[in-house]
Amino acid sequence: MSDSDDKQQRKDAKHKAAMQKQKAKVDARIEEASLERGVAVLVTGNGKGKSSSAFGMVLRALGYGMKVGVVQFIKGKQLSGEEIFLRDRLPEVDFHQMGTGFTWNTQDRSGDIAAARETWEQARRMLADPAYDLVVLDELTYMIGYDYLPEQEILDAIANRPREQSVVVTGRGGGAALQELVDTVSEVKDVKHAFRAGIKARRGVDF
C-alpha cells in the first residue's frame, strides 16, 4: 500500500467515525421530538430571501397535495414573478393581495389601513378554516409595525388556528409577542447585497 492510499484510508475511517457520532446525535434529537401538530414559523430580518422562503414552503406543501392559502400584505401593484406563477400555474392556491403598493408610495395612512383590514379578513377566514394545511401571511409584520392592524387580533387568530394547520409569517420586525407565540423564528441577516455594489434588482431573483 502506498503512503497516499494509507493516508486516504485513515481519512475515510476518521470520517466514518465522525459521521457515526453525528448520526447518533441526529437520531437522538429526532427521537426526542414527539409532538405532532401544525407549526407557526416567522421568517424575519433585513436580508434577502424571506418571501421566497415562504413560497418555497408553498411548493413543499403542494408537493403533498395540501391545501394552501397565501395572503400578501403591502406588496406592489406590479405582479412579481412568484405572483404571476401563482396566478397562472397554481389556481388551486387561494391567493389574496392587498395590492396597494408600498406605504412610501401610497403615502396614505387611512387608505392603507382600510386595505389592510380588508386583506386581514381574508387571512382571518383562512386561519379559522381547518381545510387549509398551510397559510402564508407574506409581509404581515409591517401591519403590526405600522399599527395598521391590532396586534392582539393577529396573535389571537394565529394562536387559535386549527391544530393541524401550519402558518408562515414573513417581514422585518414583527415584535416580541409574535416571536414568543410562534414555534420557529428564522432571522435572515443582510450580510452583503448586490444593491450596494450598484447592481440592479434582478428579475427572477429579486422580484
Q: Which of residues 21-50 bind its own copies (CB under 8 A)?
A: 22-23, 26, 29-30, 32-39, 41, 43, 45, 47-50
Q: Is 132 in contact with 67 (CB distance < 8 Å)?
A: yes
Q: Is 74 in contact with 102 (CB distance < 8 Å)?
A: yes
Phi, psi of 173 (to 5 degrees): 65, -135
Pick out residues in 51-90 that bind its own copies (CB under 8 A).
51-64, 66, 79-86, 88-89
Sheet with strand 134-138: strands edge to edge: 40-44, 166-170, 134-138, 68-72, 94-97
194 binds its own copies per the rule CB under 8 A: yes
Instruction: Tell me the closest approach of the beta carbon of residue 119 to its own copies, in angstroms.
Output: 18
Residue 117 CA neighbour count, 13 Å, CB half: 7
Single out the residue of 6, 7, 16, 121 in contact with its own copies (rule: CB under 8 A). Answer: 16
188 binds its own copies per the rule CB under 8 A: yes
Looking at the Cβ atoms of 82 and 139, the one nearer to its own copies is: 82
131 binds its own copies per the rule CB under 8 A: no
Pick out residues in 88-117 that bind its own copies (CB under 8 A).
88-89, 102-110
Q: 91-107 b/e with 16+ CB inside 10 Å = b?
A: eebbbbbbbbbeeeeee
Looking at the Cβ atoms of 59 and 128, the one nearer to its own copies is: 59
